[in-house]
Structures are given as structure tokens and as C-alpha cells.
Structure 1
Amino acid sequence: MSLEKDPATKSLTDVRSMDGRPSNSASQSTTRIQSAENVNPSGPPPPDAKRGFFFIMVLVSLCISLFLSALELTSVPVALPTITDQLHGTDFVWVTSAYALAATSLIPAMGGLAEIFGRKFSTLLSLALFAVGSAVCGAAHNMNMLIAGRAVQGAGGGGIQALSMIILSDLVSLKERGTYNGLLGLVWSVATAIGPLIGGAFAKSGNWRWLFYLNLPLTGVVAFIVVTCLKLKTPRSTFREKMGRIDWIGNIIITGSASSAVLGLTTGGVTHPWTSAQTLVPLIIGFVGMFCFAIYEFNIPKEPIMPFLLVSNRTSISGYMQTFLVPIVVLSVLFWEPTYYQACFDASPIRAGVLLLPVSASIGFFIIISGASVAITKIYRPQLWFGWITLIISAGVISTLKWDTPIPKAIGLPFLIAIGGGIVFPNALFPVLAPLPVSENAHALALFSFFRSFASVWCITIGSTILNNQLGKKLSPEILSNFPGGASGVFSSIPIIAMLPTEAQIQVKVAFAEATSVIWETMAGIAGLGFLISLIMKGLPLHTGVDDRWGVEEQEKAKQAALEAEKEAVVVSST
């Protein structure tokens, strides 16, 4: 079945054959786009062939990839104070920001490569980058080497994140996605539950390097499965033709612009004042560059990596904005609450992981519940509205935590974030894809991953800026003199807080508690903005089909065999 047989889809987007060239009729029809929300965007129904071994193995590889992502997300923050201390560094923010910078910058390019070179090549390239970066991080003997390794790791991690969603969209219709989101949520739950414990255990024993070395065998397993089992169709064209289809100018613009913006966000308020040229210049260049990228992509390339169609309707725009805002709130609890536990309760890294367990272990459970609700009801707006309201309330109550708050309360209140986060974090995907034709899944999901990755930078930037500013205001010069680097050095020196005189300890703990309180007051405002934005999306039907340019080859062969058998039966009956 060809997408050209669906007139609604044909009027929305260029219909491309497997060699990647758009058909002339489809190209002309795109000029008649009125609104992506006024048509049926569903593609052809998925093959009737039973999903077999190869489908299951691909799903296993996606689960392992998600496990790696969640483990990286929850284990490194817990161990970060110890890592920074052992490597004698103060620029702790760059350990996480370098990863986010590379991931954010290269995700759009990975989406384009997946369309041109196919899913398998792009996935293997991402896995290779992630493995090399992990090895460099594990072998790092100073902060610069660690940061460089995190950048390479981020380049691969961002690609893995985007391609996992793209591959799943090739195999499973949007109508069924809630069920599979629940399965992936179970994997996420396990990884986020054990991640802080693993991070804390390795940090306490001084073996934090194994946080990165553990990625190597798991990445190898995923690569083996991809090579042997990812039987997706591949574009049929020469290497030279594929290279000629790459949107080189667009990739250069977005990579440079995103890198510049992340650089400004990372240094602002930490290593340089927000009003300094070192912060403002890269910020201005970055955001102006992103604007120019959008104008260029909407008007010039024949095969843009960000077609205008993706943002041509209010529902997708609302979905993208929710995708950007929700990680800022949700990741804050995974990043800043372990810091609060270590600073205010003298918790070791592993104990901080245990205290965070109610959140990290349960967020996946709520992903399962919310995914199942979408799969059963075929609607997504009520769930998202409820999730945002829960996040607003959660951030507000977490902001009431003090340095001497009883531990049951200190670990119980953040649990509320798991409810709202588990609902909004995965389900923001539905308003993004529901208005769009399935032929744009790769581009749409690459942009989705871009916003999610870019949000992690804002989470770190907002939190670290507030933390450093508040500590600088609330701690006396005498106390700050105990920490190398002043207020910015307090974070990396958390392990020595317990060694300070009692009066100084209390002042530092009070300052940390009040600083994290301001962080959560800010998060409540961001969650409120997310709720308001969610009100503009429409409740559209979910796709029942997939893009038949991609798919498991065994299903395609089974379908062709069935067609041949049907033809033979017709011939026999006619004779």
C-alpha cells in the first residue's frame, strides 16, 4: 500500500518513494495546506502479519536503550559531588550540560539521517558514539577529559533517544502507543529505581568510573540485536545520492545555534554573570540562529529536517511546548533532591539514592497507568490536564521542605512529582503526532526529542543559577571561604559539610534548604505555564496506521506472499 492512496495524507506532505525523492503531485499539493488538524492524518493500517521474533527483539533493544538512558539520568547526579571532588573540579554543571549540549545539537541531524540512510545505520552510529563517550568518561583523570567524554556520550545518547521513538513509531500505530509506552515505563521504573542506588554505591566505594563502564556491555548487546534483528526496510539509493539529500546548511545552522544557546545557558549565572558578554553573546547568537534555522527550513530545502508542517497547527505546537516544559520540572526532582538530602541530612550518595526511591521507583508505574488509560479511552487531554495540575501542587508542597524537616515528610512530598510526571512526560507525545501524517513521524519525533533534551539544559541552568545565587546571598564570606570557588564550590564540597563546626553546618544546611525551596517555587510557576499551554490543544483521533515506507521486512515478505497466493487463487478459480 502506498501513502499516495491516502488523499488526506497526500495533501499534507510530500509522498516519497524509498529512494527518497518526493513525487511531483505531492509536492504541488503541499501548497494547498490549510490546517493539519482539519484532515485525517492516519496512514495505511499496519500489516496483518503476526508480530514475531524480530519485532520482539527490536522491542527488547528499545527497552535496553531506555534502560541506559534512565540509568544515566538518575545515577550520575547522585555521584556528581563525589566525582567532582575526586577530580578536583568546580565546574560540576558542565558534567551534565556537556551531555545535554551534544545531544540537543545533534538530535535534528539524527532524525534526518534516519530518513536518508535508514534506521539501522543511524542507530549503530549513535550506539558507537555513546560507547566511545562512556569509555572516555570512565577513563577520565581530570574534569576536562570527563566533560569531553560526556559530550561524545551525549551525541550518541541523543541519537539513541530519538531513534528509539522513531523505530517504535515505524512498528506501532499511535492508537496502540499507550500500551507500549506502559511497557517502556516499566523499564524506566526499574532503571530509575536502581540508578540512584548504583550511583550512590559506586560513589561511596570510590568506583564511580563503573557508572560509565557499565554502559559498554549493554551498548554492545543493543548493537548486536540491531545488527541481527532490526529488519526494517532501507532506502534504496547510492551513498552519493544519500549524501546529496542531506540538508547540510540546515544541520550546520541548528548545530551551531543550539550549541551556542546551551553554552550561554550553562555559563550564565555560574561562571559568568547573566549580564556579561560571555553569557549574552552566545545566547543571542543561539536564539537568533534558531529563528533563522526555522525560516530557512520552512522555505528553502527540498528535504528539510524540520518541515513547516510540524508546527502548522496549534495542537502540535501545544504538544511541543509541553514536551519542553515537563522535563524541567520532573528532572529537577531527580537532580536537586539528592543534593538536598546530602547537604541537609548528611546523607551519603547511596543513602540519598535510597531516600529518592519513592520517586524514582514509582514514576514508571504512573507511566504504565497513564499509557494504559490512553490506549483504552483513545483520548489524551484529560490525562495531561490532571498531570499538570498535580505537578503544580507537587512543586508547591516540595517548596515547604526545610533543613530540619522530618525525613518521612522529606521523602514523601517529592513522591507527588512521580504522579504528575508519570502522566505528562510520556503523553505529551500524543498532541504532537495526532494532527500530523504518519509520513512525518521521523521529523516530528526528532524535534520532540530536541525539545526534551534542550529542556534538560534549562533544568540544570535554572536550578544551578538559583542555587548559586541563593547560597551566595545567604552564606557569610567567612563560611564561603571554607569552599574553593565560593558559592559555586559549595556543591562540589557537600561531602565536607559534616566536618564544619556545628554553627557553620547549620548555616550551610539552612541556605541549601532555602535555595532548593526557591527552585521548587520556580518549578511551580513553570508547571502552571505548562497547564495553560495544554488548554489550547484539540482532542484529535489517534492514528490507526503506520508509515509503510518502513517496517519489519518479515512482515513485508509475509504480505507479499499473501498477495501472490491470492493472485494464484484468482487464476485457479478463473480457469
Structure 2
Amino acid sequence: MSPTSPSSSEVAVNKDKSNVDEVVSAVLIEGPRTRPKRGLDFWLIFLAICVSLFMSALEVTGLSTALPTIVEDLKGENFIWVGSAYPLAATALLPASGGMAQVFGRRITMLIALGLFALGSALCGSAQNMSWLIAARTIQGAGGGALQSLASIIVADLVPLRERGIYTSFIALTWAFAAAIGPLIGGSLAVKGQWRWFFYLNLPITGLAALLVLAFLRLKTPPGSLKEKLGRMDWIGNFIFIGSATSIAIALTWAGLTHPWKSAATLVPLIVGFIGLAGFLVYEEQWAAHPIVPFKLLANRTSLSGHLQSFITPILVISVTYYLPAYYQAVKGDSAIHAGVNCLAMALMLGPSMIFTGASVTITKSYRIQLWIGWWILIIVMGAFTTIHYGTVKARAIGLSTLVNIGGGMLYSAQYFPVLAPMPVSESAHAIALYSFFRTFASVWAITIGGTVLQNELVRRLPVEFTSRFPNGVALAYGSIPVIATLDEPLRSEVRQAFVESIRVIWQVMIGIAGLGLLCSLPMKAHPLHTQVDESWGMEGGQGNKDVQTSLANGDVEGAEKTMSESEREVPTLSRLN
């Protein structure tokens, strides 16, 4: 044997060392690989999430059928503020909720969100005027928006992205059930003059959700004292963001109703808000020690495409959800409860569409085809809505509305994946909070765009004999919907004709917005889906990556390899983030 040739023992040592290096590299580069257990604790946590989301979905879908009655009862004018206050508050505080979840932990942040939602609901139910109701909706929205974001964050903590389509389908079922019964509950309570109970019903459900969270949401919490955690909050970034988002939302709510679009009262807060958001992004990138929106979340074209799609989709779906009941009540003479029944078919299609899409993503490991199909469905159905006129049978509107939620369900379910697939799992909470922000911010735009179009068109089309009854302006005409059926002919038909033609313009605008959504979907790439979760946020007592590290420390390479082989090792590399 040559003096420089390695002995067999040296070869074995080098081989073991090589194995150790490979495993260590895999741990450092790929991240935690352990598949979370799906025991009773997991499903109880999932139950707590679903109950919390049920309330938020019920609130979003049920208010539209009761709103005309509420506006009439409270003698209000700015009906759009009742709808906009909720998403405005949710929008402004969503990134903050993601930051709080990172700093203080998931459970305490969830309980704070539930408390805000319950307080807002109680105040909504006891409102004595429109200003009171709008303020209460703001508090309620702050909690409701955080609940939506936290639910997605917690699911991401427990389920790898590749498997998540199936589990988000269960959440879709919860949302679909609430969406189906929400308009019925809101409409039936409004007809009976008991609309306040639409808000009071949230209180016992909130109590149940809080008990479930306290008992079962036992996730790992970040270490550190309260002072240290408060120091990790991005207070300056939150202040800039909340102020900017609020400024934009206020401008959008005023535009075309309280003040003209070209007035200083509209343009100044709108411009200041957008400048503020640009400054916020610069601050987060250059100076924030613990940014709530790291710039890298938008630095690759696939995630950017996903976020833009998540912004455009709710504009379309919520516009139909909000203004189709107005068509049923103003044009077809339906009561609030009958309008809710007419919306039932639409609501029932959302769940199956999301379930089918989520399962297809899990099976095929791809998401682009589903998104493109969804966009084409919405473009076609918005075009078909413009063919509805005064004499059109109601069945056509009902049938078309089901297609809205088929396409919308596909988009809601699939656009989550291009947002997260290019990002490391350690950024999931920030990415999901930003994703939820775009979806909620879109609600403000949806209500505002539709409301502005409707009111501006009604100003042009409503008979003077009708508008003269409202000295405070045509904005009150929305609250007059319940009395249209009492008008004498031919005034009644003229008013209904004005409403149907005005609502048609909303659908025409939505065709262009749906086309923009399709264009935004084209740049996204087909990234592989993560097979790992961030073990820093697993259930208490979970071992995760500790098992690998312990095995390596003890020299047990086979044990470490066995732990890592429990799931596949396909994760995004740095090159995939470009």
C-alpha cells in the first residue's frame, strides 16, 4: 500500500464526515423538513380557526341585504361608509397584525382580534345613528381583518404549501357556509325590523371561538420580555402605513359622493396616501430594523403577480356580492330576504369551486392553469351581466351570479400559491399578512368603485320627481330602495329603469378590471411548492428540526437522515427567487 493512500478506516471516517456535511447542508439550506402530525390537537386548532373565520365571512356577506333597511332606519346618507369602514380598518391594521403575530405569538394576537371584533359587533348592534354605526364598524373591521390574516398564518405554520390546498378547502367550506346563510340571516332580520341582531349574533360565536383558542391554540411563542417584544415592533412603519392607507380609503369613500373626484378634498388625501405608501416601502427597505413588509416580498415577478391578482379578484366578486342584491330589490322589487335567497346559489358555488381548485393544486403541484381559467370565466360573466335589462327574467342574473363564484373561487383558492411559492417559509407570516392586506384593501375599492358609478349614474338617470324627495342628495336614494315598490306608475318603472341602467355600468367597468387581472397573471412562473414548514411556529412540544440537530450532535447520521427523509426535499433555491 502506498504511504499516501488512505486506509479503509480513514475512508469510512471521511464517508461519515461527508454524510454529516450533506445532512447539515440540507438542514441549513432547505430548512425544517419534518411533516407536522395530524393528531387531535391539530384538528382542534383547525376548528378554532374555522369558527373564528365563520364570523368574518358572515359579516362580509350578510350586510349587503340588510343595508338598505339599516340606512332607512337610521336616517343616514353616507351608506358607503357603513360598508367601507370595515375593510378600511382591516386594511390599515393588517400588516400590523402580521407583525404582532411574529413578535407576541399567534394565540395572544388572535385573542386581541376576537376581542376587537366582539366589541365592534356590540357597538354596531346598539348604534343610534350612522356616525355611531360607522365608528363601530371600524372597530369590528380591525378585528375581522386580523382574524382572516391570522387564520392563514396559523395554517401555514402547521401545513406545508404542497399539502395546503386540501386544508384550505376546509376553510373554504366554512367561508362558503357563512356566505350562503349570511344574506339570508341579514335579509330575514332586516324584514322583521331586527337588523341589530345581525351584529349581536356575533357575540356568542366570538365567545366560543375565544374558548377554543384559549384551550387548543397552543403554538410556540417567541422568547423575550414584554419590553423586548415591544422593541421589535416596527412602530414607525406601522404609523406611516396606517396613515397612508387610511388617507387613500377616505379619499375613495368621498370620491364622487361627498366630494367630486377632481376636488381638493378628494385629490389631496389620495395623493398624500400614495406618496405615503411609497415612502413606507422605502423606509421598510432602508431603515426598519424589523420591517413588517420586507421589500423582498415584492422583489420577484411571481409573488408580485400573485399579490396584484389578490387585489383585483375581490373588486370583482365583492362588487357582484354588494350590488346584485340592490338590483334584486330596486329593479325586481324583492324584499331583503328574497334578495338573500336569490344570492344563495351564488354563495353555494364558492365552496365547491375553492375545494376543487385547492385539490387540483395539491394533486398537480401547479397553479397557473387554474388562475388563467378563473380570469377568463370572470371576463365572460361580467360581459354577460351587461346584457341584463329591465325586462330580463331574474333567473338569468341568478345563473350568471353562480359563474362569478366559480371563477372567483378558483382565483381565491389558487392565487395564494404564487404569492408563497417563491418565498422561503420563514417569510410566510409577512407574505400572508401582505396578501391579506391586498385582498382587504380591494374591498374598499370594490365598494367605492361600484358605489361611485351607481350614484353618478343615478344622478343622471333618476326622474326629477323622484330625486326631489331627497333634499340631502341622491346618495340617500340607496336607502330609498325599500320604498320603490310603493311608488305609483309610471314613476316606479322609471326609477327601476334608472337603477338597472346604472348598475349595468358597474358591470361594464368590471369587464376592464377583469381583463387587467388576466394581464397581471401572465408574468408568473411555475415554482415548485414547499414541502416544509417553519418549525419556529409549530405546536408546542413539536420536535421538528431539533431531532435532526440532536442526531447530528450525537453522531447519529442515519437517524438524522431518517428524520429528514420523512418528507421530500424539494425547496426553492436562491436562483428560483429571481
The alignment's TM-score, normalised by the length of structure 2, stands at 0.89
For residue 447 of structure 1, the aligned residue among 420, 434, 456 is: 434
Task: Kindly provide the amino acid, as one letter, of the partner of residue 321 in structure 2.
Answer: L
Q: How much does 1:415 deviate?
A: 1.5
Cα–Cα, structure 1 residues 7 and 329, in superposed 2: closer, same or farther, change >3 Å? farther
Cα–Cα, structure 1 residues 489 and 431, in superposed 2: closer, same or farther, change >3 Å? same
Task: Kindly provide the amino acid, as one letter, of the partner of residue 181 in structure 2.
Answer: I
Q: How much does 1:485 deviate?
A: 3.1
1:43–1:544 Cα contact (<8 Å) kept: no
Q: How much does 1:560 deviate?
A: 6.0
Q: How much does 1:426 deviate?
A: 2.2
Specify the SS of the correspondent of 2:537.
Answer: coil
Q: 2:32 aligns to what?
A: 44
Cα–Cα, structure 1 residues 366 and 6, in superposed 2: closer, same or farther, change >3 Å? farther
2:48–2:217 Cα contact (<8 Å) kept: no
Q: 1:232 aligns to what?
A: 219
Alignment of 1:393-412 (within 5 A): 393-412=380-399
Specify the SS of the correspondent of 2:536.
Answer: coil
Q: 1:31 aligns to what?
A: none
Q: How much does 1:161 deviate?
A: 0.9
CA deviations on 1:127-173 (whole Å, 9 max, x unpaired) are 11010000000111111111111000011111111111101100011
Q: 1:360 aligns to what?
A: 347
- State the distance in 2 between where 1:116 and 1:562 align: 25
CA deviations on 1:177-230 (whole Å, 9 max, x unpaired) are 110121111111211111111010000011111111111111111111111111
Q: 1:22 aligns to what?
A: none
Q: 2:18 aligns to what?
A: none
**Are 2:411 and 1:424 equivalent residues in the alignment?**
yes
Unaligned runs of 5+ in 2: 1-22, 558-578
Q: How much does 1:10 deviate?
A: 7.0
- State the distance in 1 between where 2:350 and 2:532 align: 29
Task: Kindly provide the amino acid, as one letter, of the partner of residue 433 in structure 1.
Answer: L
Q: 1:121 aligns to what?
A: 108
2:535–2:545 Cα contact (<8 Å) kept: no
Specify the SS of the correspondent of 1:541.
Answer: coil
Q: 2:424 aligns to what?
A: 437
Q: How much does 1:331 deviate?
A: 0.9
Cα–Cα, structure 1 residues 548 and 474, in superposed 2: closer, same or farther, change >3 Å? same
Q: How much does 1:379 deviate?
A: 0.2
2:383–2:507 Cα contact (<8 Å) kept: yes
- State the distance in 2 between where 1:495 and 1:272 align: 26
Q: 1:573 aligns to what?
A: none
- State the distance in 1 between where 2:446 and 2:415 align: 18
1:43–1:543 Cα contact (<8 Å) kept: no
Q: 2:191 aligns to what?
A: 204
1:47–1:555 Cα contact (<8 Å) kept: no
1:344–1:404 Cα contact (<8 Å) kept: no
For residue 373 of structure 2, the aligned residue among 376, 386, 401 is: 386
- State the distance in 2 between where 1:307 and 1:567 align: 37
- State the distance in 2 between where 1:116 and 1:141 align: 38
Specify the SS of the correspondent of 1:414.
Answer: helix
Paired residues, what number? 535
- State the distance in 1 between where 2:261 and 2:328 align: 29
2:316–2:513 Cα contact (<8 Å) kept: yes
- State the distance in 1 between where 2:495 and 2:40 align: 56
**Are 2:57 and 1:64 equivalent residues in the alignment?**
no
For residue 457 of structure 1, the aligned residue among 444, 447, 451 is: 444
Task: Kindly provide the amino acid, as one letter, of the partner of residue 482 in structure 2.
Answer: P
1:47–1:559 Cα contact (<8 Å) kept: no
Q: 1:17 aligns to what?
A: none
CA deviations on 1:416-459 (whole Å, 9 max, x unpaired) are 10110010012111000000000001110110011011000000
2:33–2:545 Cα contact (<8 Å) kept: no
**Are 2:529 and 1:556 equivalent residues in the alignment?**
no
- State the distance in 1 between where 2:211 and 2:471 align: 46
For residue 140 of structure 2, the aligned residue among 137, 148, 153 is: 153
Cα–Cα, structure 1 residues 213 and 7, in superposed 2: closer, same or farther, change >3 Å? farther
Q: How much does 1:562 deviate?
A: 12
Task: Kindly provide the amino acid, as one letter, of the partner of residue 124 in structure 2.
Answer: C
Alignment of 1:183-262 (within 5 A): 183-262=170-249
**Are 2:74 and 1:87 equivalent residues in the alignment?**
yes
Task: Kindly provide the amino acid, as one letter, of the partner of residue 205 in structure 2.
Answer: L
**Are 2:42 and 1:55 equivalent residues in the alignment?**
yes
Cα–Cα, structure 1 residues 343 and 242, in superposed 2: closer, same or farther, change >3 Å? same
1:46–1:173 Cα contact (<8 Å) kept: no
For residue 540 of structure 1, the aligned residue among 508, 527, 531 is: 527
- State the distance in 1 between where 2:78 and 2:439 align: 23
Q: How much does 1:556 deviate?
A: 3.2
Q: 1:103 aligns to what?
A: 90
Q: 1:34 aligns to what?
A: none
Whichever of the two has the greater Rg, that structure is: 2
Cα–Cα, structure 1 residues 559 and 410, in superposed 2: closer, same or farther, change >3 Å? same
Q: How much does 1:569 deviate?
A: 10
2:463–2:495 Cα contact (<8 Å) kept: no
1:270–1:468 Cα contact (<8 Å) kept: yes
- State the distance in 2 between where 1:192 and 1:290 align: 32
- State the distance in 2 between where 1:403 and 1:7 align: 68
Q: How much does 1:476 deviate?
A: 2.9
- State the distance in 2 between where 1:177 and 1:483 align: 52
**Are 2:282 and 1:279 equivalent residues in the alignment?**
no
Q: 2:287 aligns to what?
A: 300
- After superposing the two structures, state which structure 1 stretch, 369-378 or 553-562, moved more: 553-562
CA deviations on 1:360-386 (whole Å, 9 max, x unpaired) are 111111011111110110100000000
Task: Kindly provide the amino acid, as one letter, of the partner of residue 438 in structure 2.
Answer: F
For residue 330 of structure 1, the aligned residue among 303, 306, 317 is: 317
Specify the SS of the correspondent of 2:291.
Answer: coil
Alignment of 1:424-573 (within 5 A): 424-556=411-543
Q: How much does 1:47 deviate?
A: 3.8
- State the distance in 1 between where 2:272 and 2:545 align: 52
Q: How much does 1:483 deviate?
A: 3.3
Q: How much does 1:94 deviate?
A: 0.6
2:66–2:187 Cα contact (<8 Å) kept: yes
Specify the SS of the correspondent of 2:321.
Answer: helix
Task: Kindly provide the amino acid, as one letter, of the partner of residue 239 in structure 2.
Answer: I
- State the distance in 1 between where 2:25 and 2:430 align: 21
Specify the SS of the correspondent of 1:302.
Answer: coil
- State the distance in 2 between where 1:562 and 1:310 align: 29
- State the distance in 1 between where 2:28 and 2:108 align: 28
1:9–1:437 Cα contact (<8 Å) kept: no
Cα–Cα, structure 1 residues 504 and 10, in superposed 2: closer, same or farther, change >3 Å? farther
Q: 1:35 aligns to what?
A: none
CA deviations on 1:381-400 (whole Å, 9 max, x unpaired) are 00000000001001110121
CA deviations on 1:221-240 (whole Å, 9 max, x unpaired) are 11111111111100110111
2:33–2:544 Cα contact (<8 Å) kept: no
CA deviations on 1:265-319 (whole Å, 9 max, x unpaired) are 0111111111111111111111110000001101111210011110110000000
RMSD value over aligned CA atoms? 2.2
The alignment's TM-score, normalised by the length of structure 1, stands at 0.90
Cα–Cα, structure 1 residues 536 and 9, in superposed 2: closer, same or farther, change >3 Å? farther
CA deviations on 1:459-489 (whole Å, 9 max, x unpaired) are 0010000000100011232221123533211
